[in-house]
Amino acid sequence: MPDIHAPDGSVVQMAESPCALLKAAADLSGDHPALVMGNITLSYGRFDQAVDALAQQFYDAGANGRTIAMLLPNSIELCIALFAAQRCGAMSCTLNPDYSARELKPILEDADPVLILVTQASAAAVSHHAKQSIMGGDTNAWLSALQGQSAYAGPLPNPGAIASLQYTGGTTGRAKGVMLTHASIAANIAQREAFLPTAPEGEVIVCIMPLFHVFAVAMCLHLAVRARSTLVLLPRYRPDWLLETIAMHKVTLFPAGPTVFQSLLQYDGLDQKKLKTVTAAFSGSAPLSAATLRAWEAATGVPIYEGYGQTEAGPVLTYHSPHFPTKQGSVGPSLPLTEVEIVDLETGDTALGSGKVGEIRARGPQIMQGYRNLREETDSTLRHGWLYTGDIGRLDDAGYLFIEDRKKDLVISGGYNIYPREIDEALLSHPGVIEAAAIGVPDSYRGEVIEAFVVLKNGIGIDDIDAHSAETLVKYKRPARFFIVTELPKTTVGKIDKKSLKAARLEEMNHVA
């Protein structure tokens, strides 16, 4: 595998697979703490042994070349199971353990897993599927049972084989199974390391994001293994738990979604002293507003490095880095060995110059092989060697990427193109706005208009926000209507769920009509 040259001139070696990285961590740092959850700590030596033991069980169950689905919450078990599936030549498929049976049925039919790992709480949702394995909540008992098992002694997985089958939502409503190889995942780990370097055995990473999502796997689990450092797992986000954990374990790296930073800024217990060991925070999975970035760094002194990517991109394409100046509103330059271009929205064939807005396309060693059982969608997304992201953005003269919006979210009002994210940013620049979500809805005169849903601080009203929008937005971009709400709907990874917000609003409009 080729080496990657970091911006500071250092060389980052690229492994053949995440499993190879874990083996190296066990060999070089076998006694170093790898996984911590509650009062349980697992060293890299024991982590690797548990992976090999579970991999043998998977192999004996006929998992080689097949899919293993996992409906597990953040846990030491999930970390082991994810590596064990890939170790024995199976495809790991992590799914939200809170999915209903209706949501899981089409995914499991498409993935066709030979095994499904569930907890007692999620077992009922897969009861229609014949093959399942229930993993209880007693981690110590589970680890003890694995310790007595024979270890898988097969070769490390073929770098070109599919390692991960990750389901992601689509515009058609059907979840699409993204296929990533061992080599593409390992390449992305090395690319990230070049931009966000870690100290071997010197980091403590906190994981509050759900590990069924690619952001947490890439920026928490894989980051920790590459650094041969400690990953501290929390079952979910709670501000008091998080801050206590950071202080207790002397956390150095803090990956999270933007809503976590926004939530902490509103939390009365936010204490800069509890964050004194944190050297950097990493933002991803959703756009980070410039207002949140400024407020966070002013309140905590901890820099946030924001990046951009998607499941289909392995998942990371760009990132800010301590090697470069940070540009507010940007998601940074391209990772090494990655090309990002802006192309015209109509055909996607014409590359546009700096400052021009268009669809983002990318290519590099981290890009997916395609969507499982979806040839037409694969051919539409992977064209001429490029991944067409469906996102709209622009590049500046220095190669920094700025995200404007999702292509499908583009609103055309009276002939003008409006990107709802720009409206979100403008509203969030008002100090009285906690959260904001702009959507496009049908309008008989303009075709579409913008409506905005806002969560406000006490004492702030619609008149204040309307006046602010008049000062910060040209007339055609100003929301036609504002709705004050106590909270905005969120996805399982903390993104504002504009899809459900818009669906509910359209249903309400249709009912009134």
Does an H or E element contain 181, and which? strand 176-181
Q: Please, what's the largest Cα pairwise distance for the chain?
A: 71
| Long-range CB contact pairs, 57-60, < 8 A, 24+ | 57/84, 57/149, 58/84, 58/85, 58/88, 58/90, 58/115, 59/88, 59/89, 59/152, 59/154
C-alpha distance from residue 136 to each of 140, 142, 143, 405 (Å)? 10, 8, 11, 42
Beta strands in 88-161 (DSSP E): 91-94, 113-118, 133-134
Whether the CB-CB separation of 219 and 229 falls below 8 Å is answered with: no
Whether the CB-CB separation of 1 and 12 falls below 8 Å is answered with: no
Specify the pLDDT at position 130.
Answer: 65
Q: What is the Cα 110 distance to its own chain's centre?
A: 22
Whether the CB-CB separation of 231 and 219 falls below 8 Å is answered with: no
Write phi, then psi, for 89 (nearest 5 degrees): 90, 10
Specify the pLDDT at position 181.
Answer: 98
Specify the pLDDT at position 1.
Answer: 67
Q: Which residues contact 474 (CB under 8 A, 6 or more apart)?
A: none
The span from the CA of 190 to the CA of 365, in Å, is: 11
DSSP string across 87-99: HTTPEEEE--TT-
What count of Cα atoms within 13 Å lies in the side-chain half-sphere of residue 74? 24
Residues 4-36: pLDDT tens digits?
989 888 999 999 999 999 999 999 999 999 999
Low-confidence ranges of the chain (pLDDT < 70): 1, 130, 169-173, 415, 512-513
The span from the CA of 480 to the CA of 261, in Å, is: 29
Specify the pLDDT at position 172.
Answer: 42
Specify the pLDDT at position 437.
Answer: 94
Instruction: Enter the pTM of the model.
Output: 0.86
Residues 421-435: pLDDT tens digits?
889 988 999 999 999
